[in-house]
Amino acid sequence: MWRRSKKNSDCNVVVYCASSNLIQPVYTTAASRLGELFALNGITCINGAGKQGLMGALNDAVLHHGGRVKGIIPRFMVEAGWGHDHLSEIIVTDSLHERKALMANASDAVVALPGGMGTLEELAEIITWKQLGLIRHPIILLNTNHYYDPLLAFFERMISERFMRDDYREMWQVAATPDEVIPMLEVFPDWNPSYAKYPQKES
């Protein structure tokens, strides 16, 4: 079963992504295009308030095209000078855990751009939250340059080895380009209550 999300103009989308400046331009270009699309569609972008890497490119693009960015950042990152200075709204938290909870609770959808360990950790956590029913909205992997192919193959290994069920594939969607993300925010598979139930092996 598929369902339609709220209008884009009322949508708050959390984006997980890299803060490294050493990555290939293909990733930065895609992040900038996503930011442009968010702004043009009236979507509020929520992220970690960074000014570097894909996060910086995303934030700059949203703002350049007249959009809105809500940044949520731990105090130690502000003190280290990692924060973007020109976002629409900035919330400073006392810890990473508080930051992640605020981001998840403020979101109507999640998009994961390519990233490192922090992005991977956030993505794994939010998929787990969806499995448990703590969130029920779209989770989209933007698979720029086939970046997430190895992770998706690992998910398939989990399913084939029965660490996850076949229908868990419906908990996330995969977009090849930023332009594919917007339609996925509008129509997506409904959350299935059975996700949170584990079938027991017959004795």
pLDDT tens by residue, 46-59: 999 999 999 999 99
Q: Given the structure tokens 């084939």, which residue do they identify?
A: 160
pLDDT for 8: 55
What is the CATH code for 8-187? 3.40.50.450
Instruction: Give the pLDDT confidence of 3-27 residue by residue, as tens digits.
Output: 545 555 679 999 999 999 999 999 9
Residues 91, 89: Cα–Cα separation, whole Å: 7
pLDDT for 187: 85
Conformational region of residue 79, where left means phi above 0, alpha means psi within -120 to 50, and beta covers everything else: alpha
pLDDT for 203: 43
Low-confidence ranges of the chain (pLDDT < 70): 1-9, 197-203
Q: pTM to 2 decimals?
A: 0.92
Domains of the chain, by residue range, sit at 8-187
Specify the length of the chain in residues: 203
pLDDT for 194: 84
pLDDT for 9: 61
Q: Which amino acid is at 97?
A: H
